[in-house]
Amino acid sequence: MTRTSIAPIKAAITAVGSYVPEEVLTNQDLEQMVDTNDEWIQTRTGIRERRIAKSPSHATGYMATMAALNLCEKNNIDPKSIDLVLVATITPDYQVSSTAPYVASQIGATSAFAYDLSAACSGFLYGISTAAAYISSGQYQRVLLIGADKMSSIVDYSDRTTCIIFGDGAGAVLFEASKNAYGFESAVHGSNGIGRDYLNIHDGGSLHPVNENTFKEKNHLVRQEGRTVFKYAVKHMSEASNKVLEKHALTHEDINYMIAHQANKRILDATAQQLGIANEKVLTNIERYGNTTAATLPLLLSDYETEFKKGDKLLFTAFGGGFTWGAAYLTWNYDIKN
Ligand code: UT7
């Protein structure tokens, strides 16, 4: 009896799209709102400005739709050919229902099913593994993964420790079976429930439902203990990245680009330093967008898509509320189509 082995299906990113709101909130604007200054924000976080979706109707679902349409139009993708739409977000349009089905309907992905994925700043990274698993198993052929957050809807603009960091935006990628040797290689994920004491929205969930004090105490808005989050972020992003590199017998020199969550430029620098990754390989958009939570990684892909060459080795890493974290290794699948 002869045995034929079937090569596993490798999932690859085959298209990228993005959307950021037009409205810009600069450090100088924030100086008028809270006791802060441009110099502090730039030196402590690396952020100069961020985008804010001012129109009430431009919520997460709208931004995710715009990013998905941008992807489809740029790459001539028929939305009807998409099997699954995943939206990573912590700012859904509604607490109930899921935002992804709305996005799928808006873009005309009439054959797709859709759901949200909630892992805060790690949401898109976890979505990479989820999308890749669906493709590799042969279950679905086209998975649209979107990271989108309207952070301005949950930020307290009187709290200088959070309002300077966050911004709004959305990015989208399409996963399909790779037609060459390149694509998703593997990922390492972790989580620790201790994190919910250090980064949360206190009220509005099942543990602390909205009550008569919620709005008075601003407990419907995001709070974090920045210093603690900072330390956990550097530790876990560098440890997870090292594990992925070890798995593939890679060193920092083999990596072409590090695509890391953009919460604070000093977190990026410290993580890259621990990994020995050279500064010029660390992609950033934090100076223009701030921390866009689940949108950060796909926005980086969109911003730097023209730089990537087929076969480039990309190291993704993220850390977020929960705590949640991880790292993923992908080889880039295409040269830009002009
Ligand atoms: O996306 C995933 C989740 N989030 C993160 O990963 C964020 C991680 N944390 C951070 O990025 C940083 O901790 C922050 C940017 C939030 C804060 O920066 P820091 O360097 O850790 O500042 P700090 O909290 O240690 O505060 C240092 C000083 C304090 O003053 P004193 O006590 O030394 O007099 C703060 O009151 O800076 C003061 N401060 C500010 N000053 C001007 C805090 N925020 C501001 C501000 N402007 N916006």
Check whether residue 132 and residue 204 sit in a common domain.
no
Low-confidence residues of the chain: pLDDT under 70 = 1-6, 337-338
Q: Which two tokens stand for residue 245?
A: 């590199």
Q: Which two tokens stand for residue 280?
A: 């010029």
Give me the number of domains the chain comprises: 2
> Which residue stretches of 157-262 are H helix?
160-163, 226-247
Check whether residue 163 and residue 67 sit in a common domain.
yes
SS3 39: helix
Q: Which two tokens stand for residue 70?
A: 């941008």
- For ligand 1, the distance from its centroid to the CA atom of residue 236, given in whole angstroms, is 20
d(CA 242, CA 325): 13
Check whether residue 305 and residue 203 sit in a common domain.
yes
d(CA 184, CA 12): 6
What per-residue confidence (pLDDT) applies to 192? 98
Check whether residue 145 and residue 204 sit in a common domain.
no
pLDDT 10s digits, 72-84: 999 999 999 999 9
Q: Which two tokens stand for residue 115?
A: 């759901």
| Domain closes at, from 177, 195, 215 | 177
3-class SS shares of the chain: helix, strand, coil, % to 5: 40, 25, 40
Atom 43 of ligand 1, nearest CA residue: 161
Check whether residue 313 and residue 190 sit in a common domain.
yes
Check whether residue 22 and residue 73 sit in a common domain.
yes
d(CA 87, CA 311): 27
Beta strands at 168-177 and 143-150: parallel, antiparallel or unpaired: antiparallel
- CB-ligand 1 contact for 164 (6 Å cutoff): yes
d(CA 128, CA 11): 10
- For ligand 1, the distance from its centroid to the CA atom of residue 68, given in whole angstroms, is 34
Cα–Cα–Cα angle for 50, 163, 301, rounded to 5 degrees: 35
Q: Hey, what amino acid is at 45?
A: T
Q: Which residues are catalytic?
A: 121, 261, 291
d(CA 298, CA 305): 10
- For ligand 1, the distance from its centroid to the CA atom of residue 227, given in whole angstroms, is 7
d(CA 249, CA 16): 28
Atom 5 of ligand 1, nearest CA residue: 263
Check whether residue 116 and residue 40 sit in a common domain.
yes
Q: Which two tokens stand for residue 207?
A: 């543990």
| Residue 207: Cβ within 10 Å count | 9
What per-residue confidence (pLDDT) applies to 338? 53
Q: What is the CATH number of the domain that holds 287?
A: 3.40.47.10
d(CA 328, CA 281): 16
| Domain closes at, from 149, 177, 205 | 177
Angle between helices 60-75 and 100-107 (to 10 degrees): 40
| Domain closes at, from 177, 210, 234 | 177
- CB-ligand 1 contact for 291 (6 Å cutoff): yes
- For ligand 1, the distance from its centroid to the CA atom of residue 161, given in whole angstroms, is 5
- CB-ligand 1 contact for 160 (6 Å cutoff): yes
Check whether residue 21 and residue 135 sit in a common domain.
yes
Residue from 230, 235, 236, 265 whose mutation best tests the ligand 1 pocket (most atoms within 8 A of CB): 230
Q: How many residues are recorded in the chain?
A: 338
What per-residue confidence (pLDDT) applies to 337? 58
3-state secondary structure 114-135: EEEECCHHHHHHHHHHHHHHHH
Check if the beta carbon of residue 85 is closer than 8 Å to that of residue 43.
no
Query: Which contiguous run of DSSP H or E holds residue 17?
Result: strand 11-19
- CB-ligand 1 contact for 230 (6 Å cutoff): yes
pLDDT 10s digits, 142-172: 999 999 999 999 999 999 999 999 999 999 9
Check if the beta carbon of residue 178 is closer than 8 Å to that of residue 10.
yes
Give the contacts of 239 (CB within 8 A, at least 6 positions apart). Answer: none
What per-residue confidence (pLDDT) applies to 336? 85
What per-residue confidence (pLDDT) applies to 8? 80
- CB-ligand 1 contact for 274 (6 Å cutoff): no
- CB-ligand 1 contact for 148 (6 Å cutoff): no
Check whether residue 132 and residue 198 sit in a common domain.
no
Q: Which two tokens stand for residue 279?
A: 């500064």
Domain that holds residue 274: 184-331
Check if the beta carbon of residue 169 is closer than 8 Å to that of residue 18.
yes
| Residue 308: Cβ within 10 Å count | 21
- For ligand 1, the distance from its centroid to the CA atom of residue 56, given in whole angstroms, is 29
Check whether residue 164 and residue 54 sit in a common domain.
yes
What per-residue confidence (pLDDT) applies to 4? 65
SS3 250: coil
Query: Which is the closest atom of ligand 1 to the Cα of 45?
Result: 15
Query: Which is the closest atom of ligand 1 to the Cα of 199?
Result: 3
Query: Which is the closest atom of ligand 1 to the Cα of 44?
Result: 20
